[in-house]
Chain A
Amino acid sequence: MAKLAEAAKGFDQFKAAVARNDLSTAKRLLTTLKLKLTELAAPPPVYERTPTSQQELLLAREVLEQAVLLSVRLQDEAAFERNFMQLKTYYTDSRSLLPASKAEALTTGLNLMRLLVQNRIAEFHTELEVLPAEAHASRDVQHAELLERWLMEGAYNKVLAARDSMPDPAYAYLMERLLTTVREEIAGCSERAYDSLSVADARKLMLFASDQEATAFAEERGWEVKGGRVFFTGMEASTDAAELPSKELISHALTYARELERIV
């Protein structure tokens, strides 16, 4: 009881800190808060039945949801992933024990976005598959699904346009990151598709606001910018798959056959 109250108090402080936008304090508070949570009996993986298990679980879930949002604000993807993994069990294992969470759609959507940003498409789809049916209906999830489809289609302009239709401001950072991902994709394609491009074209292609940005990016990638053109050097098409060592294979096969004959 006392622990729960203590944790609840800690959580209030944490929320206050977040509200103050004092992120470093919030982060510190979060760690102690998590420690307090481990002392509670109800949260996973213990799942003991205590008189206050409902509250404990609710509190724990809320803490973690806040932790996820905080990590987005801190732009710390690793922490985001950790926190979400810890949170996820509340959406799956203990789903039946608790009333639905308001923040569930948001965190799930954020997580899906994160996977897109990190280009972990397989995991993205796995996550989608395990989502409960009602979650698919939420705007957040649909948004992420759309983005993924566009990305796959190569409709990068639509992705770009989606920047303006974010379901929640929390997405801002991730959308920004998504743009970078998209740009990386385009750059990768361009390298293979063209020998060189004019800086203007490159800017348009890679969705830069200005030529300077494009030039900086090109230099970052190690491309050569000469006389207003970008040359995709350093990409000497390595001759494809090494030649098959057919002679060797044949001789191996023959040796095996010989050996087999000698065995028993």
Chain B
Amino acid sequence: MALVQQPTSAANLLALLEEDDDSLRLYALQALDRVVHDFWFQIASAITSVEAFYDDEDFIHRELAALVASKVFYHLGELNDALTYALGAGALFDTNEQSEYVQTILSSCIDRYVEMRRAEAEGREAVVVDQRLTVIVERLFSRCFTDGQFEQAVGIALETRRLDKLEEAVHRSPDTVGILTYALRVSQDLVVSREFRFEVLRLLIKLYESVESPDWVSICQCLMFLDDAAEVAKILERLLKGSEDDALLAYQVCFDLFENEQQAFSLQVWSLLEHAAPRLPQAAPDAAAHAADAGAADAALPAPAAPPAPTGATSAGFTGVPAGAAPAAAAAQLDAASEPTGGPEAAGLPAGGPAGAAAAAAADSNGRGAEPMDTDGLATLAVVAHLSPEEHAQAERWSKLHGIITGVTPISLYLEFLSSHNHADRQILKNMKAVVEVRNSVCHSAVIFANAVMHAGTTVDAFLRESMDWLTRATNWAKFSATAGLGVIHRGHLAQGRNLMAPYLPPSASGSPYSEGGALYALGLIHTNHGQAIRGFLLESLRSTSHEVTQHGACLGLGLAALGTGDEEVFEDLKGVLYTDSAVAGEAAGLALGLLCVGSASDKAGELLAYAHDTQHEKIIRGVALGLAFIMYAREEGAETLVEQMTRDQDPILRFGGMYVIGLAYRGTANNAAVQKLLHFAVADVSDDVRRAAVLCLGFVLMGVPEQCPRIVALLAESYNPHLRYGAAMAVGVACAGTGMRAATDLLEPLLSDAVDFVRQGALIASALVLMQQPEAKVAALRKRVERVVGDKHEEAMARMGAIMAAGLLDAGGRNATPALRSHSGYFRRTSVVALALFTQYWYWYPLSYCISLALQPAALIGLNGDLRLPAFSVVCKCKPSLFAYPPPVTQEAAAAAAKVPTAVLSTSVRARDKAKKKEKKKAEATADAPVDAPAAMETDDSAAAAGPKEGGAGDGGAAARASANGVGTSANGARTKEAPEEPASCRVDNPGRVVPAQERFVELDPAARWVPIKPQRAAAGILVLKDRRPGEPVELVSAAAAPAPVVQQTPAPAPAPTAAPAAPARGAPPSRNTDDEVPPPEPFEYTPP
């Protein structure tokens, strides 16, 4: 039926519409409906008559009129009207039609429905959801189900808050687990309302539990968000009592829980589990329990160090442990631990005492989490030898779990990784030290910061020790920071942290409150997320001092150590300090209170806000304001009242805090309302501080969708106001940290050469944050720029400081760490986000910059077997080894070559040459001390020594020494030959290996290998618990040489008792390589004015 002619106008039909006869009108409408997509513009001018038909109740074909009107409005872009009329068209509106019109109307229909459901749920106003809408949406659901588009159905169900439909989708889907995983992921990303998200999570857990092999890891993480410790404890208990595989899964669950950094929650889970822990029958159940505690050093208060410093005696005194116990501990070199009540008991048991000490020594010798278990075995066997093997195995499982969930095991694993894989280039620091004049304290302390961050968690403080004289230039608060830097370097060094800081801790020999305060702060940094052990000591220090600087340090330390625990006692003490109204101490107390109650939305917020109004000190107001922001962490809508109060305040500092409240409360949600509010303040507030904070906090809100951040702040980055430009740079740095995103670097690029110094500073720091652990090809340009800025004597101090900090950040954690704002399972890590927020406060208070270390996550891949040991295991990385290799170390020659360049350029005339010569002489003098250092550096820094002569190899530094350790073994070896062979397309990463975040997608596990992850769906990064597929065969463990212990003892570890035999062979003597590094902690320094 070919058409003879295409109509060119609908005017005739419209004329027909005006006829008096209904059947003619019907005909006209039918005809119009057919041609409406071509002639909507003509019909649009007569739309009123079409509408009139619809409004005419007597007209029997009003639905058809509605359909025509709807189509016309659709073409006119009036989707709301189009939808209204489409609804009026009733059954004539065919949802199954594939046309663009129907699809568009359907989506706006869903939008409208979502909006109404939300309004209904929030109950702000009485909303009656249009029944017709519901019908259409339900028609859509059933279509999704019949078409098998379950993911789509889940998405719509979440958006429309139809939990019944969500449940139906899961039940009807053939792949229940897949759809549940999907639902879990999108509920994290897409569900805006916190309350509803919780509802969804609860439903998902219910559904998860009904499937055959539930994904316990995901369930437990869900439960963590619901703060349901009891349920997690129940699951863990069930798993632990199950098969071997179940136990492995339980370990993995705990590792992942720990990775989310919710200290209080983990502790709560454990305290619930403790009741269920198998009580060893008869013979001293207490002793067995005690032994478990003793092994896992954390729950117990550390016995005082037997310190090298004479002051140690006093500290031993105040913890109240009988002197008799001290020598045993001292022999073993440390805080092996006993509960306060356990102390005397241990001393009383002849067998228990030495066993504990020996085990503790073993634990120290390698810092592995496996050790506590040995201790347990040892002590248990020594005390109650007649336990049945089953019970024994059970008890072992419990103690292993304890070690993991409280963080001892993961922390020590990471510590070991960072320490053994440390690739920090000390030459960079030396170069910076050489060009920065000591009198410039800003740059001086920035170099100290850079050193601390570069070596964060590696326990390598050799640089500080080499430069004692130089270090003593740090005075007052700079000294405070420098001491705190030690805490960063030794972060996670739970066993020895206290001991290392001992020389500076109050009451110290030097008596300088600055180093004392710094040391207390450092202890907090060391024990973040795992502060039970140190809490008592810090509290004691806080009470026993009245000097505000020491108080400052103690408050910060306490806040970090007790992060999120909501400890009442600590709270009262901190509040006491706050109310003394001392500016310095009060500021820290305000921050610490926030840290203590982070994310609790506690009603104490009101009290703090009232105090902020009362006090005259700006510092205290700022501290409290930020503390309030921490309290509201991730509370989303729950923070609205406080946001309103603070953003309307007269005091700009409180408004500034209000910005942070918005940023942290809505962290990572990309909530539109929050973004709008921040943008509003960014352009409308009168205070530059508030505007800067508003832009900066956009970074926090957008950290869940980093790709959006550069676009949103792009305009602000071109603002005339330098504070906004700075804020934009930092926002990008925060949101895109570690992503290396192109859009982010493009935005930062022009800011690097901004006219204003602090903008350059922000841009440098932000660029470093963005480019951390990115392939060297991307980073090289920034390194070069940083080097230039640091070396330029005419550069402003602020920018140089930024450059120095950037240099530190680029190589953070011995080039093995990235700020990880999300855990591998995709949840936000609270500590990291809070730490980043604290870091941004360096603007007002340099010591807070050290908090960045808390956000650093080692880029490690660590595989553990059932005994929590490292089996020989490797994964394949499907990319060129050089892509993610460590950058080549900076050599002395390179610096010299750079210095020669000016002579070549200037040799045009004799005079010029003379001048140049003079210049060179001067330069030689200026850098005189650098070459002197060089040989020493070559000797001590083995990576530099090995790599020095090597030509642009594919591998990293210390090729031979680290070949197996850093996992790019094959290529590193290849690089040693003169001609570099063609680079392989993939490489092996051995356990424990370095896998940077960008590398994760290239990593592949061999499903046929002996060791496979217990949870295969999990991303291959972080700590993986591995399942042995050939259990009969002997287990080959990673040799101690490849994974050297971080701590080296002066006293050799006593041989483990024969009863602990299975563990013994793995524990070699500590490698000698580290012995040089590990000299006693630096002497306390004191600055004497010349």
Instruction: Please report A residues at the B interface, Cβ cutoff 8 Å.
Output: 31, 34-35, 38, 42, 44-49, 53, 78, 81-89, 92-94, 96-97, 262-264
Question: In the complex the two chains form, is B21's CB within 8 Å of A35's CB?
Answer: yes
B627, chain A: closest CB distance, angstroms: 31
Of the listed stretches B558-566, B719-727, B1058-1066, B1077-1085, chain A binds B719-727
Closest-by-CB residue of A relative to B30 is A38
Give which listed residue, A45, A97, A263, contacts B13 with CB less than 8 A: A45
Interface centre among A46, A53, A94 (most CB of B within 10 A): A46
> Which residues of chain B from 257 to 290 have any CB-CB distance to chain A below 8 Å in the complex?
none
Knowing A48-B1, A81-B15, the reply to whether A264 touches B34 (Cβ < 8 A) is: no
28 A-B pairs within 8 Å (CB atoms) are namely A31-B19, A31-B21, A31-B24, A34-B19, A35-B21, A35-B24, A38-B23, A44-B5, A44-B12, A45-B13, A46-B31, A47-B3, A47-B6, A48-B1, A48-B3, A49-B1, A49-B4, A81-B15, A82-B15, A82-B16, A82-B18, A85-B11, A86-B15, A86-B16, A89-B8, A94-B5, A263-B683, A264-B724
Interface status of B316 (Cβ within 8 A of chain A): no
A30, chain B: closest CB distance, angstroms: 10
Question: In the complex the two chains form, is B4's CB within 8 Å of A48's CB?
Answer: yes
Closest-by-CB residue of B relative to A81 is B15
* Chain B residues closer than 8 Å to A83, beta-carbon distance: 15
| A94–B19 alpha-carbon span in the complex (Å) | 23
Knowing A44-B7, A53-B4, A264-B719, the reply to whether A89 touches B12 (Cβ < 8 A) is: yes
Would you give the 0/1 interface string for B540-559, flagging 1 where the beta carbon is closer than 8 Å to chain A?
A: 00000000000000000000
* Chain B residues closer than 8 Å to A262, beta-carbon distance: 683-684
Knowing A31-B21, A34-B19, A81-B15, the reply to whether A45 touches B1 (Cβ < 8 A) is: no
Closest-by-CB residue of B relative to A54 is B4
Knowing A263-B683, A264-B721, the reply to whether A88 touches B11 (Cβ < 8 A) is: yes
Question: In the complex the two chains form, is A264's CB within 8 Å of B683's CB?
Answer: yes
* Chain A residues closer than 8 Å to B11, beta-carbon distance: 85, 88-89
Question: In the complex the two chains form, is A89's CB within 8 Å of B720's CB?
Answer: no
Would you give the 0/1 interface string for B645-683, flagging 1 where the beta carbon is closer than 8 Å to chain A?
A: 000000000000000000000000000000000000001
Interface centre among B7, B13, B20, B683 (most CB of A within 10 A): B7
Knowing A45-B13, A92-B9, A263-B683, the reply to whether A38 touches B1 (Cβ < 8 A) is: no
Knowing A34-B19, A34-B24, A88-B11, the reply to whether A264 touches B5 (Cβ < 8 A) is: no
| A93–B34 alpha-carbon span in the complex (Å) | 17
Knowing A35-B24, A82-B16, the reply to whether A89 touches B9 (Cβ < 8 A) is: yes
9 new A-B contacts, CB < 8 A, other than A34-B21, A87-B12, are A31-B21, A45-B7, A45-B10, A45-B31, A48-B1, A49-B1, A82-B18, A84-B15, A264-B721
Interface centre among B4, B11, B21, B31 (most CB of A within 10 A): B4
B6, chain A: closest CB distance, angstroms: 8
Give which listed residue, B14, B27, B721, contacts A38 with CB less than 8 A: B27
Closest-by-CB residue of A relative to B20 is A31
Question: In the complex the two chains form, is A78's CB within 8 Å of B18's CB?
Answer: yes
Instruction: Please report B residues at the A interface, Cβ cutoff 8 Å.
Output: 1-16, 18-21, 23-24, 27, 31, 34-35, 683-684, 715-716, 719-721, 724
| A85–B28 alpha-carbon span in the complex (Å) | 13
Question: In the complex the two chains form, is A47's CB within 8 Å of B715's CB?
Answer: no
A198, chain B: closest CB distance, angstroms: 46
* Chain B residues closer than 8 Å to A46, beta-carbon distance: 31
Closest-by-CB residue of A relative to B15 is A85
* Chain A residues closer than 8 Å to B35, beta-carbon distance: 45
| A85–B5 alpha-carbon span in the complex (Å) | 18
| A96–B6 alpha-carbon span in the complex (Å) | 12
Closest-by-CB residue of A relative to B10 is A45
| A190–B20 alpha-carbon span in the complex (Å) | 41
* Chain B residues closer than 8 Å to A84, beta-carbon distance: 15
Give which listed residue, A42, A78, A264, contacts B715 with CB less than 8 A: A264
In the complex, how many residue pairs between chain A and chain B have their CB atoms under 8 Å apart? 85
Closest-by-CB residue of B relative to A57 is B4
Question: In the complex the two chains form, is A93's CB within 8 Å of B9's CB?
Answer: yes
* Chain A residues closer than 8 Å to B684, beta-carbon distance: 262
Closest-by-CB residue of A relative to B691 is A264
| A209–B14 alpha-carbon span in the complex (Å) | 42
Question: In the complex the two chains form, is B7's CB within 8 Å of A47's CB?
Answer: yes
* Chain A residues closer than 8 Å to B20, beta-carbon distance: 31
* Chain B residues closer than 8 Å to A89, beta-carbon distance: 7-9, 11-12
Knowing A31-B24, A45-B35, A264-B720, the reply to whether A88 touches B12 (Cβ < 8 A) is: yes
* Chain B residues closer than 8 Å to A44, beta-carbon distance: 5, 7, 12
* Chain A residues closer than 8 Å to B4, beta-carbon distance: 42, 47-49, 53, 94, 97
* Chain A residues closer than 8 Å to B715, beta-carbon distance: 264
* Chain B residues closer than 8 Å to A263, beta-carbon distance: 683
* Chain B residues closer than 8 Å to A47, beta-carbon distance: 3-7
Closest-by-CB residue of A relative to B31 is A45
* Chain B residues closer than 8 Å to A97, beta-carbon distance: 4-5
Closest-by-CB residue of B relative to A89 is B12
| A94–B720 alpha-carbon span in the complex (Å) | 65
* Chain A residues closer than 8 Å to B724, beta-carbon distance: 264
Question: In the complex the two chains form, is A93's CB within 8 Å of B8's CB?
Answer: yes
* Chain A residues closer than 8 Å to B19, beta-carbon distance: 31, 34, 82
| A48–B4 alpha-carbon span in the complex (Å) | 6
Question: In the complex the two chains form, is B7's CB within 8 Å of A264's CB?
Answer: no
Question: In the complex the two chains form, is B24's CB within 8 Å of A92's CB?
Answer: no
Closest-by-CB residue of A relative to B1 is A48
| A82–B24 alpha-carbon span in the complex (Å) | 12
| A49–B720 alpha-carbon span in the complex (Å) | 70
Question: In the complex the two chains form, is B2's CB within 8 Å of A49's CB?
Answer: yes
Closest-by-CB residue of A relative to B724 is A264
The 8 closest A-B pairs by CB, nearest first: A85-B15, A38-B27, A82-B15, A45-B7, A89-B12, A86-B12, A47-B5, A47-B4
Knowing A35-B23, A38-B24, A264-B720, the reply to whether A93 touches B7 (Cβ < 8 A) is: yes
| A45–B24 alpha-carbon span in the complex (Å) | 14
| A87–B15 alpha-carbon span in the complex (Å) | 10
| A89–B14 alpha-carbon span in the complex (Å) | 12
| A161–B7 alpha-carbon span in the complex (Å) | 41
Interface centre among A45, A97, A263 (most CB of B within 10 A): A45
* Chain B residues closer than 8 Å to A94, beta-carbon distance: 4-5
Give which listed residue, A38, A86, A93, contacts B5 with CB less than 8 A: A93
* Chain A residues closer than 8 Å to B10, beta-carbon distance: 45
| A42–B4 alpha-carbon span in the complex (Å) | 9
| A166–B235 alpha-carbon span in the complex (Å) | 101
* Chain B residues closer than 8 Å to A53, beta-carbon distance: 4
| A263–B715 alpha-carbon span in the complex (Å) | 12
| A35–B25 alpha-carbon span in the complex (Å) | 10
* Chain B residues closer than 8 Å to A82, beta-carbon distance: 15-16, 18-19
* Chain A residues closer than 8 Å to B15, beta-carbon distance: 81-86
Question: In the complex the two chains form, is A85's CB within 8 Å of B14's CB?
Answer: yes
| A59–B6 alpha-carbon span in the complex (Å) | 20
* Chain A residues closer than 8 Å to B1, beta-carbon distance: 48-49
Closest-by-CB residue of B relative to A46 is B31
Closest-by-CB residue of A relative to B3 is A47
Interface centre among B7, B9, B12 (most CB of A within 10 A): B12
A86, chain B: closest CB distance, angstroms: 4
| A86–B28 alpha-carbon span in the complex (Å) | 11
Closest-by-CB residue of B relative to A44 is B7
* Chain A residues closer than 8 Å to B3, beta-carbon distance: 47-49
* Chain A residues closer than 8 Å to B721, beta-carbon distance: 264
B15, chain A: closest CB distance, angstroms: 3
* Chain A residues closer than 8 Å to B24, beta-carbon distance: 31, 34-35, 38
A224, chain B: closest CB distance, angstroms: 40
| A178–B4 alpha-carbon span in the complex (Å) | 40
* Chain A residues closer than 8 Å to B5, beta-carbon distance: 44, 47, 93-94, 96-97
Closest-by-CB residue of B relative to A95 is B5
| A34–B27 alpha-carbon span in the complex (Å) | 11
B9, chain A: closest CB distance, angstroms: 6
Give which listed residue, A38, A45, A87, A96, contacts B34 with CB less than 8 A: A45
* Chain A residues closer than 8 Å to B27, beta-carbon distance: 35, 38
